[in-house]
Structure 1
C-alpha cells in the first residue's frame, strides 16, 4: 500500500512538473514572434500605444499601467501583474480572464502558440 502511494505521488509530481514547464516561457520565442504578427495590428513591441498598449516590458508590469493608454476600468482594477500564467489565461480568453476588458480579441486557443508568444513577449525589455 505504501509503495502504491509513493508511485502515485511520483506520477503526480511528474505530471505537475510538465504542466508548470508548459506554463513557463516557451523554448521557441522565434515562433512566438511569428504568432505576434496578428497582435501587431493593435500592439507595438515598444512602449508606443496603438489600439492596444505597447508591450515593451509587459512581464512584471501591472495590468492597466502603461502610460497614456485608456484602459477599461476592469483592466485597471484587475490587480493582475503580468507573468507567464496570467498572460496565458488572458491570451486564451481575454474576456474570461478580465470580464469587461475592451480587448476585442477572441483568444488564442493553441497552447503551444500561447507559450511561444509569451516567450517572445518576455524578450521585449
Structure 2
C-alpha cells in the first residue's frame, strides 16, 4: 500500500508541471507580435499598454507614468506580482483574471504560446 501511495504521489507531482516550463524565447518573440501593437518588451516606453520590459517579478500596476484601469490598480493593490504563474493565468484570459481591465486582448489559448511568450519576456535578447 505505501508503494502504491508513493507511485500515485509521484504521478501527481509530475503531472503538475507549470505551464511555463520549456518556453522558447525565439518562438515567444513571434507570438509576442500579437502584443506588439500595444506593448513593448525591449524598451521602457509605454504605448497603448504599459512597457513589459522587466515585467517578471514586477508588482502589477506599478509603472508610475502609465494610466492603469481601476481594475488593474486594485489587482496591484492586492499585492499581485507578475511572476510566471500569475502571468500564465493572465495571458490565458486577461478579463477573466482582472475583470474591468482595459486590455482588449482575449488571451492566448495555447499553453505553449504562453510558455514561449513568458520565456521571451524573461529574456528578450535570447530571441535573437
TM-score by length of 1: 0.89
Among candidates 52, 57, 74, match of residue 55 of structure 1: 52
Structure 2 residue runs without a partner (length 5+): none
Deviation, structure 1 residue 10: 2.0
Secondary structure at the counterpart of residue 41 of structure 1? coil
The alpha-carbon distance between structure 1 residues 115 and 9, as it changes in their structure 2 partners (threshold 3 A), is: same
2:28 is the counterpart of 1:32: yes
Which residue is 2:38 aligned to? 42
The alpha-carbon distance between structure 1 residues 100 and 25, as it changes in their structure 2 partners (threshold 3 A), is: farther
2:92 is the counterpart of 1:92: yes
**RMSD, matched Cα:** 1.6
Which residue is 2:10 aligned to? 10
The whole-number CA distance in structure 2 between the counterparts of 1:24 and 1:10 is: 18
The whole-number CA distance in structure 1 between the counterparts of 2:47 and 2:100 is: 19
Q: What is the total number of aligned residue pairs between the two structures?
A: 121
